[in-house]
A and B are shown apart, each in its own frame.
Chain A
Amino acid sequence: QSVLTQPPSVSGAPGQRVTISCTGSSSNIGAGYDVHWYQQLPGTAPKLLIYGNSNRPSGVPDRFSGSKSGTSASLAITGLQAEDEADYYCQSYDSSLRGVFGGGTKLTVL
C-alpha cells in the first residue's frame, strides 16, 4: 500500500489529453512538500519529468505539466503520442523529510 495514491491505469488516444492524479494527506503533499513526477519506459530507469510541483527539467516537452492543490497533485499530458506509453510515478515527502512514492500509473496510448 503506497503512501501516495495513483490510479493503476489511464488511457487515451493519440492527440488527446490525459491526467494522472496523485492523492496524499496532510502529512505529505498537504503539508506543503513538493511533488515530483517520473516517467519509466519499459526496462529503463525512471526519468524526472516534473519537479517542484510544476517545473520541467531541460529537455522535457511542454506537453507535460504538473500542478498541486491541497493534498493532491496532477500530471497532465497533452497531444498524447505513442512514445508516452509508460509508467508514471509521483513522489513527495513526509513530515520527517522521508521520500514517498505513489504506486504508479500505467499509461496506454490507444
Chain B
Amino acid sequence: QLQLQESGPGLVKPSETLSLTCTVSGASISSSGHYWGWVRQPPGKGLEWIGSLYSSGSTYYNPSLQSRVAISVDTSKNQFSLKLNSVTAADTAVYYCTRPRSGYVAGGEYWGQGTLVTVSS
C-alpha cells in the first residue's frame, strides 16, 4: 500500500525559504511512471495546486507560484521535496504531498496526512 509522509519545519520566518520533504513507501518514485506533487490548503480555505514532478525530473508549477517554487526528487531516498522561497503570511497552510492517478499530472489518488506550516516571525 502506497504511503506518503510529509516532514519539515512547522514554523518559517517571513522572507525565508519553506522546505518540505515527502517520503514515499510502498512504491519506487523512479520506476512508478507517475507524477508526484504538492497541494496546499490555507486554514479554513480551499485547495491550491502547487506543482508536480515526474521521476525524470520534468516539472509543472502553478503560474502564481512559479517564480518562488521548486520541486525536486531524490530517488536514492525515495523522496521528493518542495522549496518555496520569500514566504509571507499568505503561505501559511497545510501542505500535502500527493501522487496523482496514472496518466494525470495533478491532483491526488494518494495523499499524505498533511503538515501545517506557519509563516511568522
Interface set of A (CB-CB < 8 Å, partner B): 2, 34, 36, 38, 45-48, 51-52, 57, 89, 91, 93, 96-104
Contact = CB atoms under 8 A, between A and B. Distances in A.
B15 interface: no
Contacts of B49: 91, 98-101
Contacts of B108: 38, 46, 48
Q: Which secondary structure dominates where chain B touches chain A?
A: loop
A46 B99 CA distance: 12
Given A45-B114, A99-B52, A104 B47 contact: yes
Contacts of B106: 91, 93, 97-99
Nearest to B103: A52
What bracket does the count of chain B residues touching chain A fall in? 20 to 34
A101 B46 contact: yes
Contacts of B52: 99
A105 B112 CA distance: 22
Given A99-B62, A101-B48, 15 more contacts: A2-B46, A36-B101, A38-B47, A38-B108, A45-B113, A46-B111, A48-B101, A52-B101, A91-B107, A96-B60, A97-B106, A100-B49, A101-B47, A104-B46, A104-B47
